[in-house]
Structure 1
Amino acid sequence: MIEIDHVTKRYGEKLAVDDVSFVVRPGVVTGFLGPNGAGKSTTMRMIVGLDAPTSGRVRVNGRSYRSFEAPLHEVGALLEARAIHTGRSAYHHLLAMAQTHGIGRQRVDEVIDIVGLASVARKRAGGFSLGMGQRLGIASALLGDPQTLILDEPSNGLDPEGILWIRTLLKRLAGEGRTVFLSSHLMSEMAVTAEHLVIVGRGRVIADTTVEQVVAQASADAAVHVRAPEATALREALAAEGVHIRSAERGVLEIRGLSAERIGERAAEQGLVLYELTPQLASLEDAYMRLTADAVEYGTHSTHESLELVA
């Protein structure tokens, strides 16, 4: 378990983390989301003792990270995949780490197999691709068989097979009762990997809830897509204050202000046939963009603004 208790971090005049509190519990994959500059990396660095909080307290399994005599056995962290000696092979990089904790060569071989680097384990890590370097960083995090994993952008540089692999691995580790805490900008991947989310913006917690709840809240006012042979009659049957109906094509209605269940009931009352009745649920990306709209420190022009192309 990771406990962040009223933590604030200042760098001079810069307030990076502002009175943040949340708990990362074992048994579920917890995603850590937020715009660039939101305080995610700073928070992760404080968890593993690389930065000290200005105020507040950080605990891993009830203790400060700096109090662990053998931290690799307690916490596996991937904060910078390229933090390796480029002249060493993947095997010797892991072996050097293992020897600091009395971890045997057999475990080094095991994690190399787990991350799929057996064929290149004796090659210099400096020549690795981004994805291979990422796998080596994940192997480093797994080396001590820790109960807590903290991973920053673990899918970065991985191909589709690698992304599926890391997703499956993280879910399996959480299923074993471990604490899995990961940061990512890949919303589509986070949506199918994480069960719980902590979302931050401008150094503060914006949301601390399940993926389902975040998406459900964003979908509360979503449209319902309806196809009906008697669309005009259905429009008249549904007309009421607060109900907004738009028709983009014949026989198709986009309805806001009524649930799919209520639309179906009203259609049945009027004896109207429906060919399709589909709520247009928000994606995690939609929900995230809404939640962080006012918390983006390094923003660009809205994607909804038109761009004038000059020949």
Structure 2
Amino acid sequence: MIEVRGLSKRYGDTVAVDDLTFVVKPGLVTGFLGPNGAGKSTTMRMVLGLDEPSEGAATVGGRGYRKLTAPMREVGALLDARAVHPGRTARDHLRCLAQSNGIGDRRVDEVLGVVGLESVARRRVRTFSLGMSQRLGIAGALLGDPGVLIFDEPVNGLDPEGIRWVRDLMRGLAAEGRTVLVSSHLISEMALTAQHLVVIGRGRLIADTSVEEFIGGEEQQGVLVRTPDAEVLARALRNAGAVVRNEHGEALHVSGMDSLRVGEVAMHSGVALAELTPERLSLEDAFMALTSESVEYAASEEVR
């Protein structure tokens, strides 16, 4: 189990993580979500003892990471798939990690098989694609057969088959009773992988809930609107505080506002509606609605 209690991290006047508290429980894949700059990577680095908290604490199994005697046997992590000496072979890289924690070569060969890198085990890492490096990083996380696993963007660079493999791997590890924390910007993939979500924005906790509750709450319902004046209505709805996606010409997907309020905005804007239908949001829709005010770098809606 991972416990984060009152965790904060400041860099001068910048607050990267702000009084963050949550628990990652075993037996579930927990998705760790948030916009760019939300503090996800900083939080994971503090859990792994790589950054010192300004306040609060993060523990694994009730102890700080730096107090673990054989950390790879208790916690496996992938934070940066490219953080590997490029001149080493894949097998030698894993052997170096293994020897530091008293793990034998047999386990090295086992995890190479698990991630599908047996045939390139003696190739130098500098020749690896990003997807191959991700698989090697996952192998390193699995090396000590740990009960707690932390992955930061594990599907970057993977093809569809590889993404499905990671999804099945994460769920399989959790089904064995392990604690699995996964950060990803692919919200649609998290909808298929995670059972629980921890969502942060600007370093603060926004949600700590199951995927079903995150999507299914009444406040997270959306509205489908069709109108020949989609551009005019979309601008008016955004000005009124809604999150709007326009994907199919006259169709608008609106979140953060109920159908009655959407109708009122349309009426005051002089826009005729062809359809106004409440709809269940996807995880991506719910995430966008909940974190819209926490986005650090928001692009303009207009294209010039």
TM over 0.5: yes
Deviation at 1:224, TM superposition (A): 10
Matches of 1:242 and 1:126, distance apart in 2: 56
Matches of 2:221 and 2:299, distance apart in 1: 27
Could you say which residue in structure 2 is the equivalent of 1:295?
294
Could you say which residue in structure 1 is the equivalent of 2:29?
29
- Residue pair 2:72, 2:144 contacting (<8 A) in 1 also: yes
- Residue pair 1:74, 1:147 contacting (<8 A) in 2 also: yes
2:89 corresponds to which letter in structure 1? Answer: S
Q: How does 1:1-311 map to 2 (within 5 A)?
A: 1-217=1-217, 219-223=220-224, 248=274, 254-256=276-278, 280-301=279-300, 305-308=301-304
Q: Deviations over 1:63-106 (max 9, x none)?
A: 01000010000100100111111000000000111111111111
Secondary structure at the residue paired with 1:294? helix
1:291 corresponds to which letter in structure 2? Answer: L
Identity of aligned residues (%): 60
Could you say which residue in structure 1 is the equivalent of 2:238?
none
Could you say which residue in structure 2 is the equivalent of 1:271?
none
Secondary structure at the residue paired with 1:82? coil
Unaligned residue ranges in structure 1 (runs of 5+): 226-240, 257-279
Q: 1:88 to 1:281 in 2, by over 3 A?
A: same
Q: 1:243 to 1:67 in 2, by over 3 A?
A: closer
TM-score with structure 2 length normalisation? 0.82
Deviation at 1:254, TM superposition (A): 4.0
Larger radius of gyration: 1
Could you say which residue in structure 1 is the equivalent of 2:257?
none
- Residue pair 2:38, 2:200 contacting (<8 A) in 1 also: yes
2:303 corresponds to which letter in structure 1? Answer: L
- Residue pair 1:28, 1:179 contacting (<8 A) in 2 also: yes
Secondary structure at the residue paired with 1:35? coil
Matches of 2:262 and 2:184, distance apart in 1: 38
- Residue pair 1:34, 1:200 contacting (<8 A) in 2 also: yes
- Residue pair 1:243, 1:255 contacting (<8 A) in 2 also: no
Q: 1:100 to 1:138 in 2, by over 3 A?
A: same
Matches of 2:262 and 2:24, distance apart in 1: 41
Deviation at 1:52, TM superposition (A): 1.1
Secondary structure at the residue paired with 1:293? helix
Could you say which residue in structure 1 is the equivalent of 2:230?
none
Q: Count residues with an aligned counterpart.
A: 263
- Residue pair 2:223, 2:276 contacting (<8 A) in 1 also: no
- Residue pair 2:29, 2:196 contacting (<8 A) in 1 also: yes
